[in-house]
Structure 1
Amino acid sequence: MSKQLRLDVAQLTDVGRKRPHNEDNMAYVIPRDSQVMAKKGALFIVADGMGGHAAGEVASEIAVDTVSNVYYQDEADDIPLSLMNAIKRANALIHQRAAENMMRSGMGTTCVAAVLRGGVAYIANVGDSRAYMVRHGQAKQISQDHSWVEEQVRAGLLTKDQARSHAQRNVITRALGTQAEVEVDVFTELLEDGDTFVLCSDGLSGPVGEEDLRAIVNQYMPQESVYHLVERANENGGADNITAIVVRVMEAGDDVPAALQHPVHVGGGNHVADESTAVLGRVPSSSLGVSTPPRVEDGRINSRPLPPPVEPAFISSKGYTAPHAAVNVPRRKRNRLLLPTIVVAVLLLVALAGAGAWYFLKPSAVQTTLNNADALISQAKSKISSQPDQALSNLTQAQQELRSLKGASLNPQQSDQLTSLQNNLTSEFKTALTNYNQRSLAVGLPCVNQAPVTLNASGADIQTSSLATLQTDKDHTINYVLGLDGAVYQVNDQHTLQKVSLGNDKIILLTSDNQYLYTLTSAQPSANYHLHAYKWQNNKLTEKVNNGTAIKPEMITNQTPLLLTAWAGEVYVILASSQANQNQATLLNYNVDKLDKDPATTQISISAGLVSAAALPNGQLFFLHSDGKIASLQANSPKALEAGVLVQQTVNTPWFQDAQSFNVATPVATPTAPISKFLSIPPPTAQTRQSLLSVGMVNNTAHLFVVDNTNHRVLNFVVKAPNSVVAAATPTASATANSRGGGVIAPDSNLPSASLEQQYVSSTLVSDVKGTAFDARANHINLLAAAPNSAATNQIAIDVSSTTACRPNP
């Protein structure tokens, strides 16, 4: 099966703390038509306008609208050429609009655009708006700034640090609209799963360094990344408008043009690219040797690069080269006072007309913005109940309209209207967000009467890693925690961790099925592995088989025990290799009543490693892969093949904002892409802990719990096995985690399925979950998580006995 490009996108713009208006614009287009997506890909664009009297906002809007439309109207298969032509068309329209309106003379905009198609990213830029790529935790700038200081840096005349504080750092040497023709640089990058692209204006790249950008993108998914990037830019001064689009490549397509499989530098200029980056070329500038003096507007200077040396016949006072006359034409003598007099008169008339027009048009522009915001809020009201996602989109646009009026001159009626619209926006946003999360079956944590409990380590520095639950009688359960020191700790009634003596060997894996506690130990230095089973008897843990059962060396050749899970006495040890044959894993299936017997051994094929596993009755296993895919496998099947898990409905990601604390100044980030068709979650970043799986029987129905650390949620799915396998017991399995992962998708026939029942959300409680276990007695899913802003560990209980059992605190 060919790989299709899958993306997770978020965008955000903010006026900043110093500018009265937002002259940035942004957009992205991800075609719904699969054929269009396959041919033209997804488009992302950021434009940073410049020019007085709101001209910069006009220029950036023309750029975004024109590129977005013209690119998809071009039916050519040549992506770089289509992209360059679309940007060139935007340049012509902006230049034409400026020529038609004296008040917008000299307006222009930067532009950075990206097209992601199949397995390739095409990046185009004009000006100093940037494109970054973060791969394997490292960030690099792909685009090339067209600014005076960057040209000096590339020439070796300035250092990067000198450029950041140089007096001429705002001088740009290329922009859309300032000249009739423009050069466009286009670069390419071959895509890899997990790549993240950031397109931004200099209001972000200026105050936020590359290291900060890298850390934020690595730590958060796109919807949170854009929020934190904008927030960081404002914290560092917010001197300019701030705009960012963050694009995460969930899965790179396998459609790569042959010419790009080994990219080389094929463009002109002095750009020094990484080996993985190709400069495809440029749309040439005008052939006229034109050099205009720099223009300073709104703190940004727009200038053309110096032309090559020429021998002009005459240099006019306006700075451009006058062409040679074809023939000598005799000239009549003229009245030397007539022409200057006419020129002065015309200039005075134009100045007066311009001042009058500005005086009368400014209130009209403000009123237009207020009317646009009012219309968007009205549209949102009509969609709040039936289409809350569309309502949120309308309200986000209305918020941008209203925030653009910051610092504007308003008459009393307009001030009253602005206040009323801001109040309406806040009220409607809270309602829309609440409706959206309700339709997404999202509940905020903690549940009422289930506040997180901080575990006390009795003064010791205990680093915890996983969690297991053991039922001691019909009314009581005990939680056990595995420490990174290789010891097991019992959580007592005072929530204190008490070390349990379970032999001298280091414990590397811990799980339970509620009836038995299972450990896998490693004897050093020979690394002999033993599987142990403990039952609660006479108020203590009693081992089923003394000293456990040894895993024979021939069963683990060139492999290492990676995961441990169990259900109703069936214990599964999953082994894998980090070196040889990484596409194979070994499954050892033990029975707790026959630990002295050899396990059933099954070889399974995987596309990469595994990070978490959970077991249900009849040998049904669930595996979580490092790319976020969740697959199922029948351990007792003659052919143990992984299969993708079908989701029965689209699962939306809850919005990151808190509805109750929202106000008109709150930056808004759109949620990540929903889950559709096959069950998967975003893979972790370098700063995000691996997600986890757990399972349990709730009211005799099998449930799969997915701890999604990236999106701060726990998803509760009702699962159905192939051939309608029905569970016959009520024990449960807890999850174990590891840092490696991967996945395989099977054909669509006879697949396991999952239907979302609830998702439990908290940006603080579900962000660093280390372990999870299901309490079958209480019908609770328990989480072991790092306490917010602390080195302590919390235990969090979620009541999943019904869809109304967990109610958020008011």
Structure 2
Amino acid sequence: MLFIVIGSAVPGPRIREATRLVADTIRHEYYYDESAGVPVCLEKAVRSADRRLRSSREGAGLPPGSLGVAAAVIRNNELYLATLGAAEAYLVRSARLLIPDRSSPGGLPMDESQSIDVWRGELSVGDDLLLVSRNMTETVGTEELKSAVLTLHPQAAVDHLHHLFVAAGGIGSDGIIAVEAAEQTTRAKSRATPVAGDVYGDLPGAVPEPVGGALGSTVAGVAGAMDSARDRFWDAMPKRRPRPTEVTATTSRAEARRHAAMGLLALVAVVFVVGLILVLVPRGSDVSGVPEVAGSDSALASALDDANRADNLINAEPEKAMEYYREAWTEVEQARSTGLSASALDDLELRVRTGLDTLYGARTPAIKQIARLPDDHDPAYLVEGPQGGAIYIDQATGSVHRVNMKNGKIADIVHEGDKQKGTDRTIGEPIQLAAAGPDVVIVDDKARPWRWRPSNSAGAGTLAKLALQGKAGFEADHGDLEAYDPAVGDYRMYVA
């Protein structure tokens, strides 16, 4: 009896299809021919599954060792185990958990030169066998595995371990098979045979001989007589005469020899042509690009299949469609990395990008040039000021400029050393800006806040120093400004 667990720590629909393909192939190849012995047949089945996975759509793009395999064969009291990659086998005997060697070979897909070791041992009554994904073992722990199989029925133990895996927040493969070796009990039904004698129990008196034996002998004799009569009846029936011996003509034999000679000549011609092709076809570096082309074609076909599935699920199941779009995007990038550049690849990439933008709700804004700044300007702190103007600081000259959003004209509005009207207060070098309702707040290099209020759309305005409550001025390391509260109509200046 064959038991198989295929595990992987990576979730996703592509991984599920690959594990199903590997399990079905191992089961089919093992039961197809068991004449070579269990170890040889099990190794042959695993290698066949690996070859089919590497050449299938499900295995395209899978990194080596993605799938783990744990296979067990039980014959009478013999146990055969083979483990690869992220799948393990445990044997519980006498309340002790036999832990496998973690240095087992990598999983599937694997290299052809990688060895597959098949362990052989004895399975005794009372032993428990566990085939489990390594992802389940690392999430739940080996102590929980041993405790479950020792105290619960195999079905109940598997359900209990699955609940622990879900409660621990495990993701990925949680495959597990529990097998218990128990002694088979058979009940032989016996029938009491009466014994002839003088007494029956404590009752005196003679008991007659049972008549069952004599009656059975009579029935057997009648049956034998009927069988003999039937045989004599069939012997008396007429029979078909045997078919006379046929003689093959000499011409037929010559024709057969001629056909055999023609077939031999045809076989020699085929062998010659195949040898000629092998000699003339270039090898080595001339065909080195064949695997890359095959890999790019496989990735392109897989990406196209995933995109078709995602298009069908984009409205009904957007989450699953998102998974298919992401896999298609990865496969498109893989196909492009191999050097494939075709219009079909560009169209497919645009199709996947459109689907992802639809699911994420992404939009591409239109860009329009408003104005062109002079080449010698070093703009900083660009804010949207009152009356729809864009205001920025030119760090090269230490001045503030305003850009008219309608016609793109640039006006100088504040320079270092400008005075407040009616006073001798002058502003230092502007180093920071913030929009504040109808004003623009400017902080100079002396950490003093000023306000500039426009008087028209051409760039004219008034400059005034702001008086703050509490500590006047800012430190040199102040942050962004939040300057104007529209609900109150006053300035509330603080470090944001």
TM-score, normalized by length of structure 2?
A: 0.38
Larger radius of gyration: 2
**Higher strand proportion (structure 1 or 2):** 1
**Higher helix proportion (structure 1 or 2):** 2
TM-score, normalized by length of structure 1?
A: 0.24
